[in-house]
Chains A and B, each alone.
Chain A
Amino acid sequence: MTDIKKIDDQSAKVTIPTVTRRSVSPRCDIHENDTAVILFADMPGVVTDGVNVQVHGDVLTMNGRSSVSEPERSTALWREYATRDYERAFRLGQAVDADHITAVIKDGVLRVELPKRASTSPHRITVKAG
């Protein structure tokens, strides 16, 4: 998978919901096993209704809208972070089965499982004695 910093012309048709607050690229971990590529993205404050994961062509896009708002009628005495929305895109390799991607968000972490196509999973070949 390739991180796309800037969606190029080829994938310009990808619809990214308009966000009014500042969007940042969420920090991601991606690891793979024999059957799938698994992606984790930190999106604190985002709930299931606020997250959008879609595949268009070979581009996977993730958007998260934070549901957190500042306490009412309060004054910020100290501020080290701002509540942001999240947005990031990756280009998928041929090995990913885009039709069976699943995503779940829990505790502010989005988990996307991208199964590999069966043909790309490694097959163990039994070596017989000659």
Chain B
Amino acid sequence: MTTCAMSWDPFRDIETMLSGLDHANDRAWSTAGATPGINVYATEETAVVTSELPGVQTGDLSVQLYEDVLTITAKRISDPAATDWLVRERPDLDFSRSVNLPFSVDPEHIEANLKDGVLSISLKRTADDRPRHILVNHA
């Protein structure tokens, strides 16, 4: 038997419930729903795809590119030795998400970094699929 370190508070359940609602409201911008969100940024020459993956190790993460489809697969399992949970809000992750990039990228120039729980994938757009600036002549 372990000693419960929580002081009893009759409002705790209500607070927990409200906290859940808070998270539900926040889900659109969530970092750690069962499927983490993805952001895609682009300049004329490059693209960066990011995702927040706190606690994910590089060995449990894979990034694949097939034509213009970038796929992120990741897993995060909580410590199986931990048993006496007082609060459990961080979901186990086991997901695969694909992004259909709206331009073609050079498969030889992709760099993926996982740092401080944030995945950042840098891609280089192919030269023939970049916006072209057209000089407007004064007639």
Enumerate chain A interface residues (CB-CB to B < 8 A).
1-5, 24-25, 27-34, 37-40, 42-47, 67-68, 70-71, 73-82, 84, 91-96, 107-109, 114, 116, 120-122
CA distance A47 to B78 in the complex (A): 21
**Are A107's CB and B37's CB within 8 A?**
no
Enumerate chain B interface residues (CB-CB to A < 8 A).
1-7, 9, 12, 15-16, 18-19, 22-23, 26, 28-32, 36-43, 46-48, 50, 52-57, 78, 82-90, 99, 102, 114, 116-118
Contacts A37-B86, A75-B43, A76-B39 given; 8 further ones with Cβ under 8 A?
Answer: A5-B18, A27-B90, A71-B41, A78-B40, A93-B6, A94-B7, A107-B57, A121-B3
**Given A32-B84, A108-B116, do A77 and B2 touch, yes or no (CB 8 Å)?**
no
Shortest Cβ distance from A91 into B: residue: B7
CB proximity of A101 to chain B, nearest CB, Å: 12
